[in-house]
Amino acid sequence: MIKLTNSAISKVSSMLNDSEDGKVLRVFIEPGGCSGFEYGMSVDFPKKTDKVGSCDGVSFAVDADSLEYLDGSEVHFDDGLTGKGFEIRNPNAQSTCGCGKSFH
């Protein structure tokens, strides 16, 4: 399964507070980018076929196909001087593109 860092938990918690009850953070991959796959995230209702987990009260869902590539990954939120945004630290990625948005 995946994990969320404290900074990601804080950011996702505020996002979920502004959404409908029952929605979770969905983390997924899809074909694209210069390395083969791109990461994606959305706020969505979990599906029956999803793997659902939580970190410190923040719930998330990953579909079975994406979990094959994301298992053991860590979702981080960077709020630094060089930019804001989510980062997925994936130990399964064999290579990543220069911008870090896609992997193989």
pLDDT of amino acid 95: 67
Given a cut of 80, whether residue 84 has pLDDT beyond it is: yes
Distance CA 48, CA 40 (A): 19
Q: Residue type for 60, please?
A: F
Q: Could you give phi then psi for residue 75, rounded to 5 degrees?
A: -95, 125
pLDDT in tens, 12-70: 999 999 999 999 999 999 998 777 889 999 999 999 999 999 999 999 999 999 999 99
pLDDT of amino acid 99: 58
Name all domains of the chain by residue range, CATH numbers in brackets.
3-95 (2.60.300.12)
pLDDT of amino acid 82: 79
pLDDT of amino acid 68: 94
